[in-house]
Amino acid sequence: MRKYGRLIPLLFFPLFFSYVFVVLPNMLLRKLLPLSYRYRSLRAVVKLIYKGLRIQRLVENESFARQSKDQFIVCNHHSFIDPFLIIDLFPHPIRFLAKKETRTLPIFGDATASIDAMFIKRESVKSQVLLLRQMKVELEKRTTNWLVFPEGTRNREFYSQPLLPFKPGAFKQAMEAQVNILPMVTYGFQRILDKSIHWKKYPVQIAFLDPITPEMYEGLSTREMADLVRERMQAKSDKLFLEDQRLQRTIRKSS
């Protein structure tokens, strides 16, 4: 509780004013305000949150996040705040495909909705098909990045290494739209809100892997593609896990 006792007063006012003066106006006026403006203003909010959460971000191959405006990004998923904090990594707008429960989260639900996220009802096959088709249309326009969590849900085994199985349907739209697929792996976001851990800083590792171009996945099935990407991301996750052990030792020595 000591940790939450620090976080609540530290983040309450930034989050409150950000919601009132940024997120809510962007939501109410999203048909009038361009996505680029809404996204840029939300990124400014995220920068404040990073400082309050004492995040030390360690990014590998960050240039991959800045090269294009039309990538299909796949990422592992540990924490409900993952989408919100990932935003700051990409200067060009990214849109999210998320489960409908995300939409009901206080502040974070409105924040992701304000940048045109799409929320899938997992119990409705019709909803999934319609939204996936819509995402494919948007991917074909080559006007923005899209990010999905191919595990389909949060991996609640926070400190274990294995990624959950990837859902092959997550790749179908990107492969049909013939866009680059950019895998990224994160480790450490899950620790930020863990009430049992109270550190002066929270290292978060983020690694971008080499993009997979349409030429590289030509002839592959969606299942083969999902397995290929998961294998590469798992190999990187294993390395991040080992590096995290070293970072923890360093933090404890300096505490």
Strand-pairing partners, residue 204, are 57
Predicted confidence at residue 107, as pLDDT, reads 87
Predicted confidence at residue 149, as pLDDT, reads 94
**Res. 239: pLDDT tops 70:** yes
Predicted confidence at residue 243, as pLDDT, reads 95
Task: Name the strand (E) or helix (H) holding 132.
Answer: helix 125-141
Name, of 39-53, 115-129, 201-215, the range with top average pLDDT.
201-215
Predicted confidence at residue 28, as pLDDT, reads 93
Predicted confidence at residue 137, as pLDDT, reads 94
Residue type, 55: I
* Mean pLDDT computed over 127-154: 91
**Res. 174: pLDDT tops 90:** yes
Predicted confidence at residue 21, as pLDDT, reads 95
Pairs from 150-154 (Cβ < 8 Å, separation ≥ 24): 150/74, 150/226, 150/229, 150/230, 151/76, 151/77, 152/122, 153/77, 153/99, 154/77, 154/78, 154/79, 154/80
Burial call 87-121: b when 16+ CB within 10 Å, e when fewer: bbbbebbbbbbbeeebeebeebbbbbbbbbbbbbe
Going along the chain from its start, the domains and CATH numbers come out as 2-254 (3.40.1130)
Residue 178 region, left (φ>0) first, then alpha (ψ -120 to 50), else beta? Answer: left
Predicted confidence at residue 124, as pLDDT, reads 81
Are the beta carbons of 163 and 233 closer than 8 angstroms? yes
**Res. 172: pLDDT tops 90:** yes
**Res. 1: pLDDT tops 60:** no
- What lies within 8 Å, CB to CB, of 26 at 6+ separation is 33, 38, 41, 42, 114, 115
If pLDDT is split at 50, 70 and 90, which confidence band does 62 have? Answer: very high
Predicted confidence at residue 7, as pLDDT, reads 66
Q: For the segment 87-116, what is each residue's pLDDT rounded down to a tens digit?
A: 999 999 999 998 888 898 888 899 999 999
Q: For the segment 8-38, what is each residue's pLDDT rounded down to a tens digit?
A: 666 778 888 899 999 999 999 999 999 999 9
**Res. 81: pLDDT tops 90:** no
**Res. 6: pLDDT tops 70:** no
pTM of the model: 0.92
Neighbours of 157 (CB within 10 A): 11
Mean pLDDT of the chain: 89
Predicted confidence at residue 191, as pLDDT, reads 86
- Rounded to the nearest 5 percent, the helix, strand and coil shares of the chain are 50, 15, 35
**Res. 79: pLDDT tops 90:** no
